[in-house]
Amino acid sequence: MNLVDREGNVLAEDNGQDKFLKLMYTTKIGRAVTSLLVHPALSKVGGKLLDTKKSTCVVPKFCEMNHIDLSLYEKQEFDSFNDFFTRKVRKELRPIDTEPTHLISPCDSRLSMYEIHSDATFEIKNTHYTVASLLRDEKLAKEYEGGYIGIFRLCVDDYHRYHYIDNGVQSKERRINGVLHTVNPIANDVYPIYKENSREYCIHRTENFGDVIMMEVGALFVGKIVNPKNKKKTVRGAEKGYFEYGGSTVILMFKKDTIIPDEDILLHTKEHCETRVHVGEKIGLKK
């Protein structure tokens, strides 16, 4: 799947991550290693290691391999690898569109936007899913038929914090435990990705876009999701939470007749391309 900018220009990407994942998911040895790495106990051990000061030794090479410019972030010295991975981008580089009727992106990511059809099925990265299987709640899924689902896929070089799209109130988080597998499209040939990933979601009762489901999906190795657990008032553009190490995905679901996605994003999705977006950037309108 190609990555394009808002004008439709194809963006060049380092495909090292894709080659690595193809090896891990399409060979016998790779699948055997993967089955061990995604085990919850090993995932916890990995998480603890990434919280140590010694883990910062890999940061320079990681930045080099993934073309990460640390000057774009609030700090350049870190206490651990996870401290580096959850680094905050400089605020002036991510201005928040403050027009209330503008739908904004919750994160830096590669975006695909799909209509939720009446039969409640949709396609993500060449694999078909249902809203009900994501939510594990058929009644709630029914409420979003005819609306839109936005898939915001983060890669390792992205800013890994996500933000509220509007003022409002969020419900308590619902957590769905699962085996952590990568959200990268290559893995779809072997595993039904989102059915096996740990995920959390809340209902965000927004001022301008109705009741929006906001879901975070963990991924390979650690993929830890850090969210507020209780109900809270929200402010447009304010941080909601973050992912620790592991490729990750944010999902937004909108009810029928609440939003109009930007035409370029819908066109790119139909052409099987992801659109590069940044937190706070306009991606649609209130209907």
Q: Which of the residues are catalytic?
A: 108, 248
Closest CA to 261 of 118, 49, 63, 112: 112
Closest CA to 276 of 64, 11, 1, 47: 11
Closest CA to 204 of 177, 167, 175: 167
Phi and psi (nearest 5°) for 29?
-65, -45
Structure tokens at 13: 């990407």
DSSP 10: B
In terms of C-beta distances under 8 Å and separation of at least 24 residues, what long-range contacts does 64-72 make, across chains too?
Answer: 65/14, 65/16, 66/14, 66/156, 66/157, 67/14, 67/157, 68/157
d(CA 69, CA 76) in angstroms, rounded, equals: 10
Find tokens 């790779």 and name the residue: 30
Phi and psi (nearest 5°) for 250?
-110, 140
| Count of CA atoms in the C-beta half-sphere (13 A) of 47 | 20
